[in-house]
């Protein structure tokens, strides 16, 4: 992975406010997050759970090293007990809950009961009839006694239940249509016949399935947080589907639909008053280029290059924000200029030029005949002037540099370019 400071810088440029850290987290990452105002969920590695369950001293040492040494400048707001540990092996339920109790004792001793919550993550494999009819969802019989104990642990302290949702897997193996799994705007509504609630995407259906399953065990006030959700841009080498839907295009569409859903700040049909907290899986691809044994979900490569483009906020793509950061790293103080893209046809440039000088309200007087910037009299030169005039006037309000692919960002002042 890149240096911790570079990762945190990228998170801040992208205006990420919440992250979940998995596995053994190196102290340098927690130090780099100091003062960033990014709220952190820290996951206890699966292999550490038994030791923490058996010894209060071990739990205290883990808590001191990972939390107290960094808090409050690094804003740890939650601790997740393992990664789907109960799904992998239900016999670990006792250790998981006991480790949670010992960590919660550490939190209480530090006076941080109101700042830090303890949770655990579940795979959707632990639910029956989920998604297709959310009101009928329940925990699989095999897991129910363990999950009742877990929910008893979570409920009194205002903790939440974390679910990990894999829409791609649900599409491949659980019978969900592609548009519905991707929460696409073209998805056909799924009607829950018992509640008459309509669902247009798997995210809401999965969250309400978790609420329904908990209610069947007598727990109605535990919030649900989506700890993982994403769409792979590349399938594993072992997948034989010749029409695999694990593509860059589908990953970008899914990400855009997800961002739009979360930005709506709406609840689900079953819990309309409760907005959904979601953690995207995953920020970086964590496998090498020669490893085809697993799907690739990363938004970025480990060299911090976006795998695809999608809009993190209205009008601003993560690729463009990253470009501004690269410009800043190159010593240009983050100054970006919007110019005609090499190879753009005169017809496409003409359309963009007319829009910028008209509806875009760019100052195009200097490129009129006899104007100070009329020469050279080419579409590329005039478009670059108009594009940049529009961009500089409106970038603070979220303007982009695209013009249907006719423009690009550069660190070179267009007045110094030769056309």
Tokens 């998805």 belong to residue: 187
Instruction: Say whether 194 sits in a helix, a strand or coil.
Output: coil
Structure tokens at 268: 């689900």
> CA 400, 405, 407, 411 torsion: positive or negative?
positive
Tokens 């007990």 belong to residue: 81
The question of whether 84 is a catalytic residue gets the answer: yes
Do the Cβ atoms of 59 and 102 come closer than 8 Å?
Answer: yes
Q: What is the DSSP string of 139-169?
A: E-GGGHHHHHHHHHHHGGGT--EEEE--HHH
Q: Which helix (H) or strand (E) holds 31?
A: helix 27-32
CA distance 71 to 207: 31
Catalytic residue among 61, 169, 228, 282: 228
Pairing of strands 138-139, 127-128: antiparallel
CA distance 355 to 247: 33
Count of alpha carbons within 13 angstroms of residue 131, beta-carbon side: 22
Widest CA span in the chain = 83
CA distance 202 to 209: 10
Q: Which helix (H) or strand (E) holds 99?
A: helix 93-109
Strand-pairing partners, residue 234, are 296
Q: What is the DSSP string of 314-361?
A: TTEEHHHHHHHHHHIIIIITT--EEEEPTT--HHHHHHHHHHHHTTT-
For the sheet containing 121-123, what is the strand order? 121-123, 161-164, 224-229, 277-280
Helices (H), 155-239: 167-173, 178-181, 202-216
Do the Cβ atoms of 35 and 73 come closer than 8 Å?
Answer: yes
Catalytic residue among 75, 84, 318, 320: 84
> CA 13, 19, 23, 27 torsion: positive or negative?
positive
Question: Which sequence positions are flagged as catalytic?
Answer: 84, 228
């Amino acid at each position: 992975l890149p240096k911790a400071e570079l990762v945190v810088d990228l998170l801040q440029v992208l205006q990420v406010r919440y992250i979940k850290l998995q596995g053994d987290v190196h102290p340098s990452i927690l130090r780099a997050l100091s003062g960033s105002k990014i709220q952190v969920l820290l996951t206890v590695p699966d292999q550490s759970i038994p030791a923490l369950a058996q010894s209060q001293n071990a739990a205290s040492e883990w808590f001191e090293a990972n939390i107290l040494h960094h808090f409050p400048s690094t804003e740890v707001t939650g601790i997740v007990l393992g990664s789907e540990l109960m799904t992998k092996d239900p016999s670990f339920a006792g250790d998981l809950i006991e480790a949670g109790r010992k960590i919660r004792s550490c939190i209480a001793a530090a006076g941080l009961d109101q700042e830090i919550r303890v949770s655990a993550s579940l795979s959707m494999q632990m639910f029956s009839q989920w998604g297709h009819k959310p009101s009928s969802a329940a925990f699989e019989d095999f897991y129910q006694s363990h999950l009742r104990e877990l929910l008893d642990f979570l409920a009194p302290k205002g903790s939440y239940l974390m679910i990990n949702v894999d829409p791609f897997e649900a599409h491949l193996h659980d019978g969900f249509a592609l548009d519905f799994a991707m929460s696409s705007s073209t998805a056909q509504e799924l009607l829950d016949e018992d509640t008459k609630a309509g669902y247009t995407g798997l995210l809401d259906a999965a969250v309400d399935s978790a609420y329904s399953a908990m209610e069947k065990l007598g727990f109605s006030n535990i919030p649900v947080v989506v700890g993982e959700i994403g769409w792979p841009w590349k399938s594993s080498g072992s997948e034989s589907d010749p029409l695999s839907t694990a593509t860059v295009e589908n990953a970008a569409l899914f990400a855009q639909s997800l961002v739009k859903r979360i930005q709506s700040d709406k609840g689900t049909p079953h819990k309309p008053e409760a907005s959904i907290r979601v953690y995207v899986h995953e920020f970086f691809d964590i496998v090498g280029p020669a490893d085809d044994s697993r799907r690739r979900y990363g938004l970025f490569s480990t060299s911090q290059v976006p795998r695809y483009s999608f809009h993190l906020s209205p009008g601003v793509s993560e690729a463009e924000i990253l470009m501004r950061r690269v410009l800043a790293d190159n010593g240009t103080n983050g100054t970006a200029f919007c110019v005609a893209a090499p190879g753009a046809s005169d017809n496409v440039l003409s359309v963009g030029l007319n829009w910028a000088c008209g509806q875009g309200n760019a100052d195009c007087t200097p490129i009129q005949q006899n104007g100070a910037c009329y020469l050279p009299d080419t579409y590329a030169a005039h478009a670059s002037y108009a594009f940049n005039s529009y961009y500089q006037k409106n970038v603070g309000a979220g303007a982009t540099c695209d013009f249907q692919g006719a423009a690009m960002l550069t660190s070179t002042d267009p007045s110094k370019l030769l056309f």
